[in-house]
Structure 1
Amino acid sequence: MFRATLEGMANRVAVRWADENPQMEETGQAYQHQTAWLDDLPSQRAFGVKEMIFSLGEASQAEAEAACYTHLMTRRLPQVQALPGERVGRPCAVLDLRGWFDTLRWRFWSEPRGYTGNIQSGGREASFGHSLAVQRVAQSFSSGLAGGWELSEVWVKLWKVGAPSDQVVVSLCADQNGLPGTVLASVSLSTGEIASEPGWVKVFFPEALMLTGGTMYWVVLARSGGISATQYFGVRREEDARIPSGAFKVFNGTTWVNEVAPGHLVMGVLGRQESTEQLAAVAGAAGGGQFLRGVRIRQASGVKAHLFRAGKWNALEEVCRLLQMGTAGGERLLARVNPERVLVVEKRPGPEQPTLRILPGGEVVHLNGRRLLPGENPAGRWAVLDHLVRMEGKVGAPEVVYLTRAEWRDNGVRVSWE
């Protein structure tokens, strides 16, 4: 007897590997790389695109690329396995089926928008507000060419030297001829929010700020008080150019100038987008929804989540992550694929009007006692637990439960609930 499965098949593969990176000396961590995706087009035309990422550990790029090709050649077709000891009296086939929703796991999801920076860098110490020559510091960055996004927060590695009594003012500025221009938003940080050792400080701007695609902006750090050679503030600078298209400047009281040694401020700029808007993209045709015919959002979440995704998780994992955030009102969100093969996202119905009943023997029936027909799916509906027994009047199961899973076996249906 043989078993053929798509479970281990992959017709688009990549391999991740690590090597020793001198720039990570402070943490002792290896820097991770990933090969380019390798495709088998005939298999993709026959079965759809099914991606898989393998890990090789410490290796060279050539070794990783060789492993990538080997994985593709051995996994590009459905995996056939012999099942020893299984005998059947006549030819037969057993189908183990999964729904369209499960095919979201076939593709990985990456979103380049919503992040720019070099937060993985260690950098070297630099100061501002300690001399007239370095009164402020500024770092430019590009929002990228993939379209605009809403600013979520700015991360800066910052600390105080001595005991300054003034504040650090963090501003987002427009670009004006390659220099910081109009202030778009600013936040003041008290010295109580800044440690005496280098540490990450997360800055939220009160206004909702949309960054236009392909546009340069500046993050400017200044102190609110006067110059002091003993009471000032420090930042980290990465001597390599690690922020694409960016530049680092210092303000000397008259104009913005370059420092003698080139480098970039160690920082990160993150964006956000409503979770259900992201979900529509993740499950869309350009994401994991290659077999779906669309995505319909019936209930916008009102919850904004980080936008940038590095491609480490598949589309199904990303969709589940976004669903778990629920709505701004604390309500659960559900996703289902309807008969038209459209993914529908909606708010979970309330328990006020249950439509099913679970009998003491575990059978699921309608409220009027009618048995479920073979094609009726009880999952995603509320049910009354019939003849509920409470232990000593203290703790017991709820009288109405939400059915999350249904399994048909031995001419019956078994359900799980929460």
Structure 2
Amino acid sequence: MEQLTWALPGGAQSAVLSAEPDGALAGEVWLERLAERLGCPLRILDPLGRVFWGGWVEQITWQSGNLEVSATLAGMSNRVVCRYPLEQVTAGEWGRWAAGEWQQDDASVRRYGRKESLITLPMPDARLAEQTALAHITGSRSQPRWHTRHCPDHHPGVRMRITARGWWQRLDWICDQEPRGLLAHLGGGKTRQVLGRESSAIKLAQSFRVEQGFSAGQLWLRAAAVGSPQDGLRCSVCADDNGRPGALLAESTLPAWAFSGGFRWLLWELDAPCSLAADTHYWLVLERAGALDGQHYFVLESDDGPGYALGELRRWNAAEWLLQAEDLRFCLPAMQQTSELIAGLPPIEFLQGVRVWQSSGVWQPQWRTLKKTLRQTLETWLALGTQAGSQLSAVVDGQRIVQVFSLPHTPQVDLQISQTEQLPFIPEELLGGSLAIPFPQLHNLCRVESLRYTPQQGLRLQTNL
């Protein structure tokens, strides 16, 4: 064993092991055995038989004399999708990309598990996207990469080195995407609604229907300012009252300086998420925060007609709500706490589940475009921490369960010193926290303040005694 490392988030991070196998076996035999070990689980056990380090084999290197041959899963992908931009460039992140069908090498997926990859085209071409993904799979990139090189250091016998990664790193094998959780009307853009210039347009109200209940925390609309308004634009979520805006449920005001730069998607963020019930109509009501001004006002972008079938647009003229022959462009993503998003992830084939020990109180959209790996998404959520200000982290334990917790981590793990004075421990349980150890000569627990292990010096503990 040359090296074992652990890190947060994730736990087991990397391992390097080397051996000198039976030199009587021919080099061809070892070369055949290399690929058979790639992707396989690797466990290193402590003296009690518990998983001390757990992960999977990423690379195996064989050296004889000055010749080195290696096989690796790095750079391989056996399930590929290609995305391309849509011509509707004003649809925002929610309508910017389309993707072709997933293409996969079935034999490689069965052998190594699915290792996904996303290819991005710069031009809107659906046919080229399909061809690009298929070409990747039918080529050699769905198989392990082999490398041969001449080593300056001569090794007299045969040496084999295994490089392994932790299960957290394997989350990079999965492309993250969640198409659910989006209530939006994105089309159009050629027509506009003036707001706050004169008494004929004091307010605008766009109704929408919620088919599945969700929590709304972000209100997106395409808008701009004319002149230099000094107030802002208020966006409210209201209940429906016989086809007209009713009781106020939540509101947010966007200051005028946020409207600089012409028409673009702007965000009104609610202080607290607003719960919207299923099979119910609601309204987005917009009005300026200050007085009417004929020179400085706001403009909302709409579609080219009444294109949203589940709602309507009305304008308030100080006397009545007048029906408009178009609809506003809007987007309401469903919001969830990051702890709920993590706990609600679909099953992952190489993990046994997820356990979240604390609600985060931090809300993020459920909908996610095809862009990041699952590991990148999880680390983004963890980095947001909790509403109370503490940091969130996670480890994959010896049973391959993702444990999500806040820092500092204080697990109650009891360790007993054996007769040989060896101290067995599981690093994932120590990361981010302290540890209580019962010494035979003490009746109370002592607290370990720090722990350091090296092959040369062994295990060193610093306690609060």
State which of 147, 172, 191 in structure 2 corresponds to 1:82. Answer: 147
Q: TM-score, normalised by structure 2?
A: 0.63
Q: Show the 5 A alignment for 1:213-224.
A: 213=278, 215-222=280-287
What displacement does 1:66 show?
A: 0.6
Q: What is the alpha-carbon distance in structure 1 between the residues aligned to residue 231 and residue 386 of structure 2?
A: 40
State which of 221, 237, 251 in structure 2 corresponds to 1:187. Answer: 251
Q: Which residue of 1 aligns with 2:22?
A: none
Q: Which residue of 2 aligns with 1:377?
A: 427
Q: What is the alpha-carbon distance in structure 2 between the residues aligned to residue 92 and residue 118 of structure 1?
A: 62
Q: What is the alpha-carbon distance in structure 2 between the residues aligned to residue 411 and residue 187 of structure 1?
A: 61
Q: Which residue of 2 aligns with 1:112?
A: 179
What displacement does 1:320 show?
A: 1.0
Q: What's the secondary structure of 2:139's corresponding residue?
A: helix
CA contact (8 A) 2:337 2:361 kept: yes
Greater strand proportion: 2
Whether 2:125 is the aligned partner of 1:33: answer no
Whether 2:355 is the aligned partner of 1:296: answer yes
Q: What is the alpha-carbon distance in structure 2 between the residues aligned to residue 190 and residue 77 of structure 1?
A: 49
**Which whole-Å deviations, capped at 9, do the CAs of 1:14-42 have from their partners, x for residues lacking one?**
112347x37559x9xx9543222223344
Whether 2:167 is the aligned partner of 1:100: answer yes
What displacement does 1:326 show?
A: 1.9
Whether 2:400 is the aligned partner of 1:341: answer yes
For residues 271 and 402 of structure 1, do their structure 2 counterparts lie closer, same or farther at Cα, with a shift above 3 Å needed? Answer: farther
Q: Show the 5 A alignment for 1:16-415.
A: 16-18=83-85, 21=87, 32-58=97-123, 60-74=125-139, 77-85=142-150, 93-117=160-184, 123-130=190-197, 134-143=201-210, 147-158=212-223, 169-175=234-240, 179-187=243-251, 189=253, 198=262, 202-206=267-271, 208-213=273-278, 215-222=280-287, 233-239=298-304, 245-251=310-316, 253-259=319-325, 262=326, 264-282=327-345, 284-285=346-347, 289-349=348-408, 377=427, 380=431
For residues 37 and 96 of structure 1, do their structure 2 counterparts lie closer, same or farther at Cα, with a shift above 3 Å needed? Answer: same
**Which whole-Å deviations, capped at 9, do the CAs of 1:246-273 have from their partners, x for residues lacking one?**
54343464444232xx4x3233324422
Larger CA deviation: 205-214 vs 3-12? 205-214
Q: What's the secondary structure of 1:265's corresponding residue?
A: coil
Q: What is the alpha-carbon distance in structure 2 between the residues aligned to residue 188 and residue 14 of structure 1?
A: 39
What displacement does 1:115 show?
A: 3.7
CA contact (8 A) 1:137 1:251 kept: yes
For residues 90 and 194 of structure 1, do their structure 2 counterparts lie closer, same or farther at Cα, with a shift above 3 Å needed? Answer: closer
Q: What is the alpha-carbon distance in structure 2 between the residues aligned to residue 255 and residue 278 of structure 1?
A: 39
**Which whole-Å deviations, capped at 9, do the CAs of 1:284-332 have from their partners, x for residues lacking one?**
40xxx22111111122222223333112111111111111122223222
Identity of aligned residues (%): 25
For residues 312 and 302 of structure 1, do their structure 2 counterparts lie closer, same or farther at Cα, with a shift above 3 Å needed? Answer: same
Q: What's the secondary structure of 1:310's corresponding residue?
A: coil
Q: TM-score, normalised by structure 1?
A: 0.69
Q: Which consecutive residues of structure 1, in runs of 5 or more, have no partner in the other structure?
A: 356-365, 384-399
For residues 241 and 343 of structure 1, do their structure 2 counterparts lie closer, same or farther at Cα, with a shift above 3 Å needed? Answer: farther
Q: Which consecutive residues of structure 2, in runs of 5 or more, have no partner in the other structure?
A: 1-61, 63-68, 435-448, 461-465
Q: What is the alpha-carbon distance in structure 2 between the residues aligned to residue 97 and residue 164 of structure 1?
A: 59
Q: What is the alpha-carbon distance in structure 2 between the residues aligned to residue 319 and residue 344 of structure 1?
A: 12
Q: What is the alpha-carbon distance in structure 1 between the residues aligned to residue 144 and residue 195 of structure 2?
A: 61
What displacement does 1:111 show?
A: 2.5
Indicate the RMSD between aligned Cα atoms, in angstroms: 4.6
Q: Give the aligned residue type for 2:110.
A: R
CA contact (8 A) 2:225 2:298 kept: yes
What displacement does 1:152 show?
A: 0.9
- How many residues are treated as equivalent by the alignment? 370
Q: What is the alpha-carbon distance in structure 1 between the residues aligned to residue 399 and residue 88 of structure 2?
A: 54
For residues 245 and 347 of structure 1, do their structure 2 counterparts lie closer, same or farther at Cα, with a shift above 3 Å needed? Answer: same
For residues 66 and 183 of structure 1, do their structure 2 counterparts lie closer, same or farther at Cα, with a shift above 3 Å needed? Answer: same
Q: Give the aligned residue type for 1:258.
A: Q
